[in-house]
Amino acid sequence: MKAGYWVTGLVLIALGFAAGYLVQQRTGGDAATAAGPADAGQAILYWVAPMDPSYRRDQPGKSPMGMDLVPVYADAAAGADDAVRIDPVVVQNLGVRTAAVEHGPLRRRIDTVGYVSYDERRISHVHLRTDGWIDRLYVKSVGERVTAGEVLFEVYSRDLVNAQEEFLQALRQGNASLVGASRERLRSLGVAPEQIGALERTRKVAQRVRIHATQDGVVARLSVREGMYVTPTTEVLALADLASVWLLVDVFERQADWVQVGMPAEVRLSYLPGETLEGVAEFIYPSIDPKTRTLRVRLRFDNPDERLKPDMYAAVRIYAGPKTDVLSIPREALIRTGDSERVILALGEGRFRAAHVVSGIESGDRVEIREGLAVGDRIVVSGQFLIDSEASLKGSLMRMGAEPPAGEAGDTDAGTDRPIVGSGTVEAVDLQARQVTLTHAPIAVLGWPAMTMPFELAAGVATGDLRVGEHIRFTLTHTPDGTGYEITSIERAD
């Protein structure tokens, strides 16, 4: 029994020493570290909260969590930039490629698609000018080819029969004025001059009047069948000449002011691999399509061998005028997230930093950069998303904006109202107090290590379905009074 007491006593003494050592490491150790440079005469720039580096003051004091503020010295601030350091071996394994920012002209190239359509100036519509019946139809289906003067169909119409009888009666009376009027009436009803001449020679009324094609082409539409009753409002058929076709191209609204009539264009079709057709913008339509939000541009191509078929799709590249004196980077290097744009700068020796930029026009595989970069900067064009994720963990992207001037009171909380993302495991949920206890992973933005702590829930955050042991992602923002943080959104990590 005495031996057991001795063992228990030794264990308690060891635990006491360990606890004292940990306390010294969290208080005295930090203080010694902080005081060391001061003894060496180094300047203190400002004080920060140990758990929230964005909380700054120009003099010692307490953080919102009640902890002593920690001084930041000149040498520490110089080394605490927002760059991410990656081992060169890892950089090589990731396949990181870089490119230099280029300065010079950037040709505004529009890559889009279009489709082949009939040349509307070579389409003719066939209508009757009186009521009647399609007695015989010579054209049976869409796509049939016809030549000018070919008979399309025969129609029976009582008005046409009466007009022929009136013409013959005028001929028998020998009244020249009445003959001329009757002849003009037949023409106005759509009777061909050849048929009128045959009627005048034979003096025999034709019960069926033939309708002839007015041009060469193919039948684009056929709306009738034999025996159908038609009126002047009925489109019997439409003929289209494929010797010339249109290519209708859709241009995005943001590029609408780039295009002008006469600009050169290249066209590629999938069924003509390796072949490029060259054309020019012939016409620009005056309005934007309300559904696709695109501007339509028309190109025209001669098509004597009819290689271009209506409704074929084509890849189109229009060359607009160049924009001079611009900075540009490869388009794949630009990272777009919501309302922000950034690139990853390669600083050398395995160091990378995210930089906010403002982009301009896009042309092919390059994009204009209006702000944020300079000539000679090198940016990452491959593997930048992995580096960007690493930078997000470090918090550089959360504090990309200008830091508040050291010692400037009243502006020391700048940037702390931005959302901060973390992950952890639910330990307890208190619905009445609207509080959840989490064991969260390190939050680099705030300088927090992994720990278990309670969080207040902002209004509107639902917790009824949370369960102890679940892994979640959460978003933190400052509480309204600025003394701490509260959770504004929760989602399950799986």
Contact 223, 236 (CB under 8 A): yes
- Residue 65: what pLDDT? 72
pLDDT tens, residue by residue, 61-78:
887 777 788 776 654 444
Domain 420-492 in this protein, CATH class: mainly beta
Tens digits of per-residue pLDDT, 215-232? Answer: 999 999 999 999 999 999
| Amino acid in position 77 | A
What is the average pLDDT value for the chain, to the nearest integer?
A: 80
- Report d(CA 208, CA 164) in Å as an integer: 11
Q: What is the average pLDDT across 153-172? A: 92
- What per-residue confidence (pLDDT) applies to 398? 42
User: What pLDDT does 53 receive?
Assistant: 60
> What is the predicted pLDDT for the residue at 242?
93
* Residue of 217, 207, 221 whose CA lies nearest to 243: 217
Q: Give 121 or 56, the one with higher predicted confidence.
A: 121
Residue 150 predicted with pLDDT over 80: yes
Residue 29 has pLDDT above 70, yes or no: no
Of 425, 485, 478, residue with least CA distance to 455: 485
Helix pair angle (193-202, 158-173), 10° resolution: 50
Q: Which residue has the tokens 């300088």?
A: 447
The pLDDT-based confidence of 247 (bands split at 50, 70, 90) is: very high
Q: What are the φ/ψ torsions at residue 357 (nearest 5 degrees)?
A: -135, 165
Average pLDDT on 99-127 reads 90
Residue 134 has pLDDT above 90, yes or no: yes
Tell the burial category of 192 from Cβ atoms under 10 Å away from its Cβ (0-12, 13-18, 19+): middle
Residue of 341, 292, 299 whose CA lies nearest to 317: 299
Tell me the three state secondary structure of residue 161: helix
Report pLDDT for 400: 40
pLDDT score for 364: 76
CATH of domain 84-107+325-394: 2.40.420.20
**Structure-model confidence comparison of residues 463 and 259, the more confident one:** 259
Asked if 357 contacts 368 with a C-beta cutoff of 8 angstroms, the reply is no
DSSP β-ladder status, 485-492 and 451-457: parallel
pLDDT on residue 36: 42
Three-state DSSP state, 445: coil
Burial class (CB in 10 A: 0-12, 13-18, 19+), 291: exposed
Report pLDDT for 35.
Answer: 40
pLDDT at 488: 86
Residue 282 confidence (pLDDT): 93
- Is the predicted pLDDT of residue 148 greater than 60, yes or no? yes
Judge whether residue 268 has pLDDT over 90: yes
Confidence band of 52 (pLDDT split at 50, 70, 90): low
List of long-range contacts for 223-226, beta carbons under 8 Å, 24+ apart: 224/134, 224/137, 224/153, 225/134, 225/137, 226/134, 226/135, 226/136, 226/137
Q: What is the structure's pLDDT at 185?
A: 92
Q: What value does the mean pLDDT take over residues 103-127?
A: 90
pLDDT at 154 over 70: yes
DSSP-derived secondary structure letter, 25 = I
In this predicted structure, the answer to whether residue 5 has a pLDDT above a threshold of 70 is no
pLDDT score of 25 more than 80: no
Residue (of 440, 438, 457) closest to 449 by Cα position: 440
Percent of the chain with pLDDT over 90: 35
Query: Which of 57-61, 234-238, 251-255, 398-402 has the largest mean confidence?
Result: 234-238
pLDDT at 108: 81
For residues 377 and 152, give the distance between their C-alpha atoms in angstroms, rounded to a whole number. 71
- Long-range residue pairs from 447-451, CB within 8 A, at least 24 positions apart, any chain: 447/50, 447/51, 447/52, 447/53, 448/51
Decide: pTM greater than 0.75.
no
What does 396-417 look like in DSSP terms, one character per residue? TTTT-SPPPPTT-TT-TTTTTT
Mean pLDDT calculated for residue range 332-337: 86
| Per-residue pLDDT tens over the stretch 304-317 | 888 999 999 999 99
Q: What pLDDT shows up at residue 151?
A: 93
Q: Which CATH class is domain 120-240?
A: mainly beta
CA distances for 389 relative to 5, 333, 386, 475, angstroms? 54, 15, 5, 17
Higher pLDDT, 451 or 127: 127
CB 455 within 8 A of CB 475: no
Q: Which amino acid is at 393?
A: L
**Whole-number percent of the chain with pLDDT over 70:** 80
Helices 176-188 & 158-173, crossing angle to 10 degrees?
160
Residue 175 has pLDDT above 60, yes or no: yes
For 111-119+243-322, CATH number?
Answer: 2.40.30.170
Mean pLDDT of 188-192: 89
- Tokens found for residue 17: 């020493």
**pLDDT per residue over 114-123, tens digit each?**
999 999 999 9
pLDDT in tens, 361-389: 887 788 889 988 988 899 998 876 666 66
Q: Give the DSSP letter of residue 101.
A: P
